[in-house]
Amino acid sequence: MEKLKSMSHATRSKLITIGMVVVAYFVMTGLMSAGAVSNSTIGLLIPICAYSCLAISLNLVVGISGELSLGHAGFMSVGAFTGVVMAQMLDGVIAADPMRLLVAMIAAAAMAALAGFLIGIPVMRLHGDYLAIVTLAFGEIIKNVLNNLWLGYDGDGLHVSMSNAAALNLEEGGKILINGPQGASGIARLSTFTAGVLLILFTLIVVMNLVDSRSGRAIMAVRDNRIAAESVGINTTRYRLMAFVVSAALAGMAGALYAMNYSSIVPKKFDFNTSILILVFVVLGGMGNIRGGIISATLLTILPEKLRFIGDFRMLIYAVVLIGVMLVSNNEAVKAVVTNLTSRFRRKGSKKPAATAVKGGGENA
């Protein structure tokens, strides 16, 4: 305990976030083995993990790099379909499921990073609202490309077509991997809750280590003041692009995890609404606040399911809850109470906490 107190604020915050995820994992596995969790909740675990990873990765762009990106679901879908294709092609090549999932995720990350890089080059010439609109457009472009993509596999290798399934000219016994708007089906359900939690931990460590490093400081410098960052010799485009690509790669991995939880997946799933959903997680959790993003992704994934009993009013209540949380969390009186409470738990003589909370950004992961 003493050791925990002597650590720097950033390190402590990091360990608390990781500890929170690990504890949640053991509590959930404990409850599941005791049979105390309903099937519908178990079905939500992997999506929660995937959305948490997406929230963390989008936080890198929105909170740390300070760019509003509205196309995150695009990278998720690139990762999802790459992962699915990879897993199917490796069926029989790699016997162990976790290994196959891992390789599929790495491929997903690489492909999503490539997509992020290609999109990032034109997008990073822009700033603010313009950037947001263009990322939105690219998200839709990815969705529509995948909607018109047929991918098959036979003895000759991979066949690609942008018109229809027949144009693939597959041999006898060839397999269609991606079937245009119908997406991928017959997916091997490789994702597990454990894999999901491991991916959250990986994503967390990547993002938090990045923030607390030379490159992370440069990224935050560009967010705080681009002109000043340039004036001290930082190549702003390069660092914004770095954050964007890392974020895309992580989103790709989360997409692969998400897709391999279902037996079929369609491109339409990764539309603008999904991008906004991820953005809502980030904004509700607090921009730049990684821990908050995980919590809000979890709660907002559970909420619509738990509201099923009120039928059609479900999304209405969902919206009301969102507005309620925003109002309450921005209320000065509530904030004062929270600061008061947290300061009691902090070590005596520390003068830091109030200052770090000011902008909600920066290091308070």
Q: Which lies closer to another protein via its Cβ, residue 189 or residue 359?
A: 359
- Please tell me the distance from the alpha carbon of residue 231 to that of residue 55, in angstroms, as a whole number: 32
- The count of residues interacting with another protein (CB under 8 A) is 32
Bridge partners (DSSP) of residue 176 are 152
Q: Which of 6, 33, 38, 231 contacts another protein by CB under 8 A?
A: 231
Q: Which of 224, 318, 319, 338 contacts another protein by CB under 8 A?
A: 224
Stretch that binds another protein, among 53-61, 76-84, 117-125, 203-211 (CB under 8 A): 203-211
Is residue 252 part of the contact set for another protein (CB under 8 A)?
Answer: no
Query: Which segments of 155-191 are extended strands (E)?
Result: 157-161, 175-179
Is residue 166 part of the contact set for another protein (CB under 8 A)?
Answer: no
Interhelix angle for 39-59 vs 272-285, to 10°? 80
Is residue 358 part of the contact set for another protein (CB under 8 A)?
Answer: yes
HEC string for 46-94: HHHHHHHHHHHHHHHHHHHCCCCCCCHHHHHHHHHHHHHHHHHHCECCE
CA distances from 264 to 51, 81, 160, 298 (A): 18, 11, 19, 23
Alpha-helix runs per DSSP H in 94-171: 97-123, 128-147
Q: Which lies closer to another protein via its Cβ, residue 32 or residue 114?
A: 114
Q: Which of 82, 88, 179, 236 contacts another protein by CB under 8 A?
A: 236
Q: Which of 220, 251, 256, 300 contacts another protein by CB under 8 A?
A: 220
- Please tell me the distance from the alpha carbon of residue 123 to that of residue 128, in angstroms, as a whole number: 11
Q: Which lies closer to another protein via its Cβ, residue 47 or residue 66?
A: 66
CB 240 within 8 A of CB 218: no
Is residue 56 part of the contact set for another protein (CB under 8 A)?
Answer: no
Task: Please state the closest distance from residue 123 (CB atom) to another protein, in A.
Answer: 19
Task: Please state the closest distance from residue 101 (CB atom) to another protein, in A.
Answer: 21
Pairing of strands 150-154, 175-179: antiparallel
Q: How many CB atoms lie within 10 A of CB 117?
A: 15
Is residue 343 part of the contact set for another protein (CB under 8 A)?
Answer: no
Task: Please state the closest distance from residue 230 (CB atom) to another protein, in A.
Answer: 4
Q: Which of 46, 218, 254, 256 contacts another protein by CB under 8 A?
A: 218
Q: Which of 83, 216, 267, 293 contacts another protein by CB under 8 A?
A: 216
Is residue 314 part of the contact set for another protein (CB under 8 A)?
Answer: no
Element counts in the chain: helices (H) and strands (E): 15, 3
Q: Which residues bind another protein (CB under 8 A)?
A: 206, 209-210, 213-218, 220-221, 224-225, 227-236, 242, 246, 352, 355-356, 358-359, 361-362
